[in-house]
Amino acid sequence: MANILLIEPPYRNKYPPLALMKISTYHKMLGDNVIFCKGKNVDLRKQKWDRIYVATLFTFYWKSTIEVIKYYKNSVENISDIYCGGVLATVLEKELYETFPVTITPGLLDKPGILGDNDIIVDTLPPDYSIIDLEQNPYLSYQYPVKDAYIAYATRGCVRRCKFCAVPTIEPCFKPYIDIKNQVNYIRNNYGEKKNLMLLDNNVLASKDFNQIIDDIKELGFYKGAVFQYEKNGKICRSKRYVDFNQGVDPRLLTKEKCQKLSEIAIKPLRIAFDHADEKSIKIYKEKVRLSAFYGIENLSNYILFNFEDSPEDLYNRLKINIDLNEEFEKDGYKTRIFSFPMKYSPIGGPNCYNRKYIGENWNAKYLRAIQCILNATHGVVGPKKSFFDRSFGKSLDDFMLILSMPEEMIISRAKHEETGMKIRWENDFLKLDLKSKLYISILNQDFKAMNPEDTKKNILKYYMKNALE
C-alpha cells in the first residue's frame, strides 16, 4: 500500500480540484492511502510520501505553485515522485520542468497507463468527494463555494481555436459525448444526493449528441422545475435544482432547436459568451439572447472578456447592451434578466503569463485598476438594473472614461467625495489636463514613484497620492 499526498496550491478558487478527486479514486482502487490538503501543512511535510500530486490552475498562479512544490520537495525520495498536471503544467511544461524536474502529466489523464502500469483511465473515473468534506478530512480547512453539486463533463475539448484560450492545448481533441449518468449515480450512491449539476464543458453546443446530453440531464432529475428535497433540523425542506454549463455556451451555435432543448432543463444561468465587440458578434449575441428569452430561459449570464484585443470603450458598450436588453425584456413582459461578469484577460503563455499584470494594447494600468475597484464593490457582477449601472459605470461613454480616470479612493467612496466637493474639484482640475502631458501619462501608467511628494501637492497628482483623499 502506497502513501499518496494530493496538494492544491493555496489560491482561492470556486471549484474543488476535479482531477485530484479522480486521482484519489484511482489510488483508493489500488488500495493506497490517500490524503488531500490545500496549501502547506507542517505535519504532512514531515512525513515521507511514495508520491505527491500537485494540481495546477492558471499560469498566473506560477509563484504559489512553485512555492508549494519547493515546500514538499523533501517529502519524497526523488523529485520525480512529485507529479504535476493541469493548466499551468501543460502550458508551461518546459519552464516548470526546468525549475523543478518533477514528473509532468500534460493534458488529460484520458489514456491507460499514465499514472501506473494498468488499464485504468483516470479521467473516466468518478471523483472522490470525501477528500473535500471538512468533516472527513482533518487536513482541509478551505470550504469550496461549489460543494453541493455533481461536477462533471458531458463533452471534452472545443471545436474553436480562440487565441485567448488554453483549451486547444489542454484538450486538443473534441469528444462530443460522455455519459454522465454513471458518474452521477455513483456519486449519489457513495456520497449522497447533490442539489445541483455543474458541467464544465467548453463548448457543449458543438456536440452532435447535444440532444442526448439534454435527455441525460433530465433523466438524472434536472428537468425544468425540478426540486431538491432534504432534511434540516428535523424538517423536510425543498428548494429548486439548477444546471450550470459553467464555461459558457457559444452563441454562434445556439439554434432555435438547441435553445428549446436547453429550456427543458433546470438551467440557471444560461451563460452566453460575449467575447468580441465587433458588429457581427454583437448582432449574433443580441439575437441569441432574445431567442433565450422567447423560450422562457429567465436567468442569463455572460463572461465579457476585456484587456485582450478590445478597448475600454468596447467593454462599456457590451455592458450597456445587456442593460438595454434587460430594459427591453421588462418592457415586453419577459422575466429574463442578464447578469454580466467582466473577465480580465491574462496571457496563457509567453513572458507575461506568470502574473496578472499584463496590460492589453488598448488599455493602461489606471483603467484596469479602476475596473477592479468598480467590480470589487459589485463583487464582480454587473446586475440588470439601469440605475445601478449608471451609478457604477456611468450614464454615457464619456462618464465611464471619467470614472476610469478617478483616483481609486474616489471610485470606491464616490458618494463621500461628492458630498465634500472633492470630486468636482478633481474633475475640474483633471479636465484641464493636456492629454499629451507628463502628468496625464503618469496618471494612466500609475507611475508615481519618481514624483517628489512636495511637487505633487501643487498639481492634480495630489488627488492620486496615498492618503491624499483621506
pLDDT digits (tens, 9 = 90+) for 76-119: 999 999 999 999 999 999 999 999 999 999 999 999 999 999 99
Nearest to 199 by CA among 212, 215, 187, 217: 217
Maximum Cα interatomic distance, the chain, rounded to a whole number of Å: 74
Q: Tell me which residue has cell 493541469.
A: 86
Does the domain spanning 1-119 belong to CATH 3.40.30.10?
A: no
Average pLDDT value for residue range 72-77 = 98
Set of cell numbers at residue 55: 494540481
Q: Length of the chain, please?
A: 470
pLDDT attached to residue 456: 57
Q: Lowest mean pLDDT: which of 34-38, 145-149, 215-219, 304-308?
A: 145-149
pLDDT attached to residue 466: 58
pLDDT attached to residue 411: 94
Q: Lowest mean pLDDT: which of 27-41, 213-227, 338-352, 445-459?
A: 445-459
- As a whole number of Å, the CA-based R_g of the chain is 25
What is the pLDDT confidence band of residue 234, given thresholds at 50, 70 and 90? Answer: confident
CA dihedral 111, 116, 120, 122 (to 10 degrees): -70
Average pLDDT value for residue range 166-174 = 94
Nearest to 171 by CA among 197, 136, 201: 201
Portion of the chain with pLDDT greater than 70, in percent: 97
What is the pLDDT confidence band of residue 451, given thresholds at 50, 70 and 90? Answer: low
Phi, psi (deg, nearest 5) at residue 178: -130, 125
What is the pLDDT confidence band of residue 75, given thresholds at 50, 70 and 90? Answer: very high
Portion of the chain with pLDDT greater than 90, in percent: 88
Phi, psi (deg, nearest 5) at residue 69: -60, -45
Sheet strands side by side (includes 196-199): 149-152, 196-199, 243-245
- As a whole number of angstroms, the distance between CA 202 and CA 205 comes to 9
Print the SS3 string covering the chain.
CCEEEEEECCCCCCCCCHHHHHHHHHHHHCCCEEEEEECCCHHHHHCCECEEEEEECCHHHHHHHHHHHHHHHHHECCHHHEEEEEHHHHHCHHHHHHHCCCEEECCCCCCCCCCCCCCCCHHHCCCCHHHHCCCCCCCCCCCCCCCCEEEECCCECCCCCCCCCCHHHHCCCCECCCCCHHHHHHHHHHHCCCCEEEECCCCHHHCCCHHHHHHHHHHCCCECCCEEEEEECCEEEEEECCEEECCCECHHHCCHHHHHHHCCECECCEEECCCCCCHHHHHHHHHHHHHHHHCCCCEEEEEEEECCCCCHHHHHHHHHHHHHHHHHHHHHCCCCEEEEEEEECCCCCCCCCCCCCCCCCCCCHHHHHHHHHHHHHHCCCECCCHHHHHHHHCCCHHHHHHHHHCCHHHHHCHHHHHHHCHHHHHHHHHCCCCCCCHHHHHHHCCCCCCCCHHHHCCCHHHHCCCCCCC
What is the pLDDT confidence band of residue 469, given thresholds at 50, 70 and 90? Answer: very low
- As a whole number of angstroms, the distance between CA 357 and CA 244 comes to 30
pLDDT attached to residue 407: 93
Give the mean pLDDT of the chain.
94
Nearest to 198 by CA among 260, 134, 241: 241
Residue ranges of the domains in the chain? Answer: 1-119, 419-463
